[in-house]
Structure formats: structure tokens, C-alpha cells
């Protein structure tokens, strides 16, 4: 599997580190509901098909990327930078 970093170009997946599910949203800091925090910290889906994930290009620019990947075929449909550079990614061709 290859991932096209918006800064460095297309590189082998071994240069990247999987960080986690990009669809998980942190509860508001004032939220005292234990179940909400339990689900945020411990509960993860195991989707079949398209999924959004965070990866870091640890062997090069160290950018945090949001990768849209199919968990069955491993086809990557898009890669985008996270943080203030978000929205400057492109299709993963």
C-alpha cells in the first residue's frame, strides 16, 4: 500500500504510522457524562469499507494526515493534511 503525502509525494505505507480513527469526536470538556467519555476513550468501530483514519508521515515530514481508505481493498481515495493546512490535500492517484 502506498500513501501520497501532500508534501512528500507517494511513499510506501511503512514510512507512516497509523494513529487512529479520524471519525471519533472528543466530548466537550465540561461534559461530565461518564458514558460519553468511556465511549470516546475505549469504544471503536471496526468498519468494513470506506473509513477515515489519521496517519503520520513519521519517516519524513511528520505531517498528520487524514486518509480515506477502504478497509477491504486498501484503496485510498483521498489524503488531506490535518491542522492549519487542512484542505490542501488531493486525490491519492
Residues in contact with Zn ion by the rule CB under 5 A = 5, 7-8, 57, 60-61
The answer to whether the Cα torsion of 11, 15, 18, 19 is positive or negative is negative
Which CB sits closer to Zn ion, 61 or 64? 61
Which CB sits closer to Zn ion, 11 or 27? 11
CB of 49 to Zn ion, least distance (A): 26
CB of 80 to Zn ion, least distance (A): 13
Which CB sits closer to Zn ion, 41 or 59? 59
CB of 52 to Zn ion, least distance (A): 18
Across the beta sheet with 90-91, the strand order is: 17-21, 50-56, 64-70, 76-81, 90-91
Helix (H, G, I), strand (E, B) or coil at 37: helix
C-beta of residue 23 within 8 angstroms of C-beta of residue 9: no
Amino acid at each position: 500500500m502506498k500513501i501520497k503525502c501532500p508534501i512528500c509525494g507517494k511513499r510506501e505505507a511503512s514510512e507512516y504510522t497509523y494513529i487512529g480513527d479520524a471519525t471519533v469526536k472528543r466530548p466537550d470538556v465540561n461534559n461530565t457524562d461518564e458514558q460519553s467519555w468511556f465511549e470516546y476513550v475505549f469504544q471503536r468501530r471496526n468498519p468494513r469499507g470506506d473509513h477515515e483514519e489519521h496517519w503520520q508521515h513519521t519517516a519524513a515530514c511528520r505531517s498528520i494526515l487524514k486518509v480515506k481508505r477502504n478497509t477491504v481493498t486498501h484503496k485510498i481515495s483521498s489524503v488531506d493534511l490535518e491542522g492549519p493546512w487542512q484542505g490542501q490535500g488531493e486525490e491519492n492517484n
